[in-house]
Structure 1
Amino acid sequence: MRQTLRGELIMKNLHKLALISAISVGFFSQANPAAAESRITCESRQGRYNFCNVDTRGGVRFVRQISNAQCREGSTWGYDRNGIWVDRGCSAEFAVRDRGGNNNNYNPNTGGDNTGAIIGGVLAVGAIAAAIASGSGNNSSDGTITCGSERGNFTRCPVNLSRRDRVILRRQLSNSGCWEGSTWGYDRDGIWVDEGCRGQFEIRR
């Protein structure tokens, strides 16, 4: 009896995952499949902190390290909505996705911007995935933790972290933006979120 119930549960989850895949393909096919990227080099000279101003709202991708000093996200480099920062000798090349101006979000069928459709699709997929993976509330499993700002207030999700541990944002689950150092962060007592940020975080030990 237990094996039968377990089998039914597995099949239900497989159907849900198939639904997520279908939704993902659907909304991404409506978006421009070739969003342009621009490259930027940001250097920490003489081991000092440096901030490189650039619009990062379209996303940032680490391309290559060009310094002898190691570049580690969240430790010697990172970014917020206003730009990319480097520290402790890290110098690297980054790719920044263009959010507009090069027809990246332009839909020729409507003559307008389909950014809203893209964001809506991301949120829909994220919500379904979160419901399957973690249910409701803040929880953790397998090195990941879901932490949300309750009613837009500062919220801390307790987790034991050492000085060597790193935390990265794997997936944003909220309409409100999750920006490291602004609306989320971490210390030895756990992960904190604020201003409506809700996301799935990975702990790298």
Structure 2
Amino acid sequence: MTLAALWTVSPNVAKAQGYGRDSIECRSNDYRYNRCNTNWRDARLVRQLSGSRCIRGQTWGVERGGNVWVDRGCAAVFAEAGGRPGPGPGPGHGGGGWRPGPGWDTDISFVCESRDFRYNMCQVDVGRGGNVRIVRQISGTRCIEGRTWGYNRAGVWVDQGCAAQFTVERRWRD
């Protein structure tokens, strides 16, 4: 498959033609973090465009608000995977009635650090509706959400020397 044409939205984001209705091109220019506005619940990598590797959870991912992020030179075409964010199905509406087991709503505290200013993913189940916050910054480097740290359902990531004690506040929301 070839990229037929691009309709430019900004220098870093473009609608990708030929990859379906909901696809975008997102680029990390000069190996910097970049956020591309989507509103997707999840995304999948359709085609890598860069020489730098695009690895989910390391050089690209989907933020809590539905935006795709790229970092460290990753450039790719991404497509929507999993529908748009919004309220989940209520009782009797296809949710299957599944609920997390006992102790789900227990807060989890841990340290996650970027050693040698490198990206690190600390795996912890944040879950749907969970929240992550810094309890105590350990590093001399400032920890700035969305720039040097962030999270998704799979865990917390840190980069560029950020080290902190985090708390995951897991709450189940229907």
TM value normalised by structure 1: 0.44
Greater gyration radius? 1
Greater share of residues in helix: 1
